[in-house]
Amino acid sequence: MCSLEHCSRLLLALCPNITSSGIQFATAQLPLLELMDCGMTICDLSSPYPTCDESGDFELQTTFKNKLHLIYQKLIIKHNRLKKLSLWGCSGLDALYLNCPELVDLNLNSCKNLHPERVLLQCPSLESVHASGCHNLLIEAIQSQVSNNFAAMENQFPNKRLADGSKRVRVPQFMSQQPCDEDKKRRRIASRPCNVLVD
């Protein structure tokens, strides 16, 4: 039997009765979680939504009377180990707050109801954000946040005054007295700015 506290992957894509509260609860209960796919779980009931018919083909349907979702939900995730989060097609999300220091890949494709002012990404290791099918204002807000995260990490390198005290200069990596692990982390983050992918 599998113990939940050892679970590192949670695949909920296309599960129709998952709410943002359920996702938040699951992440809190799974400390070793590294990958979570919640695609099409939190959907706007008024949006076309692909489902399987009897032949196995996908068709568009516009109403789902059996769904128990609220139309718009917010999702708050704070997790220290999560590396990949997929929320593709979660059109029922209008707010997203992430504090995931190890997150490298975020899929927000077709999250068309996310409000730019209600998205906060505190994910300094983020390398890719997929935002195809999102509104331009949301894409711009994401780009601004990830570029600010990158600039903030770059600015954490130590500065020292010149010998004559005239100005402060950034200390080269090899001269810094920071612990070795910290240097590696900074180099890794500084060398990879986050890409926002819209195609």
- Per-residue pLDDT, averaged over 85-89, amounts to 96
Q: Are strands 35-37 and 84-86 parallel, antiparallel or unpaired?
A: parallel
Task: Tell me the C-alpha to C-alpha distance, in Å, between residue 160 and each of 27, 156, 164, 173, 180.
Answer: 42, 12, 11, 13, 19
170 band by pLDDT with thresholds 50, 70 and 90: low
pLDDT digits (tens, 9 = 90+) for 96-153: 999 999 999 999 999 999 999 999 999 999 999 999 999 999 999 999 998 876 555 4
**pLDDT for the residue 158:** 58
pLDDT digits (tens, 9 = 90+) for 135-150: 999 999 999 998 876 5
pLDDT digits (tens, 9 = 90+) for 50-62: 443 443 434 334 3
Q: Please check the confidence at residue 186 and state whether its pLDDT lies above 60.
A: no
Where do the domains of the chain lie?
4-197
3-state secondary structure 70-126: CCCEEEEEECCCCCEEECCCCCCEEEEEEECCCCCEEECCCCCCCCHHHEEEECCCC
- Neighbour order of strands in the sheet with 73-78: 73-78, 93-99, 119-122
